[in-house]
Amino acid sequence: MLTISISQLTLVSQETEKANKWSVSLGYYPFYDFNLSNQVASANDAFYWHSVSGRISYKLSDKFSILSGLSTRKNKIDLQYDLFPNAYVTEVFLELPFQLNYHFPKHSDYFLPYFKMAIINSYLKSSVNEPISDKHSYYNILSDMGLGTDFKLNNKLSVISEISIGYFLKYQYSNRAYLNGFFGLQYKF
C-alpha cells in the first residue's frame, strides 16, 4: 500500500512538472550602465532605479528554456552646468529581450540555478529641458549574459533572481557596458 502511494505521488509530481512549461514573471529590474574606457565613474554613468520587467518563458526541455517580455526603465540625469543649474536629461528605455536559459543539473527541488544569454532590443527616448528643449530617439541592441536562480515556493510560484553583465552592440555612444539584475515573482502554468 505504501509503495503504491509513493509511486502515485512521484507520477503526479512528474505530470505537474511537465504541465508547467509556461511561466510569467513580473519584477524589479535595476540597471547600471558605464563607459569601459573610464577608470572612475563619470557623469555619463547612470543608475536606473525606476525600472520594471514583465516576462513570459517556455521550458523547451530539462536543460533549456526561452524567454521574452517587455522591460522599461527611466532616469533623470542632472547635467550640473554652472550656467544652467536646473538642466537635466530624462531617458526612458523600452526593451524587448530574447533570452535563452541553460538550467544546471537539478540538485535540489527548491533551488534551480541557470546560465542566461540574451539579445535585447532597446528603444530610447531622451529629452533635455535646458538650455534648449531637445528630444531624441535611438534604437539600441544589447548583448547580455549572467546567472539566475529559481527559488521554488511551491509547484506554481517561485522567486526569480538574476544578475548579468552586458555590452551595447549598437548604441548612440561607443564603448558602453552595463550591469543589471532582475528580482521578481514567477507563476508557472
Domains of the chain, each with CATH number or no CATH? 21-188 (2.40.160.20)
What's at 57, amino acid-wise? Answer: S
Full-model pTM: 0.82
* Structure confidence by residue, pLDDT tens digits, 47-76: 887 899 999 999 999 999 999 999 999 988
**What does the pLDDT read at residue 41?**
54
**What does the pLDDT read at residue 3?**
46
What's at 141, amino acid-wise? Answer: I
- By the 8 A CB rule, do 28 and 182 touch? yes
Length of the chain: 189
Q: Which residues fall within 8 angstroms of residue 53, CB to CB, at 6 or more apart? A: 25, 26, 27, 28, 29, 69, 70, 71, 72, 182, 184
Helices (H), the chain: 2-19
Average pLDDT of the chain is 85
pLDDT at 6 over 50: no
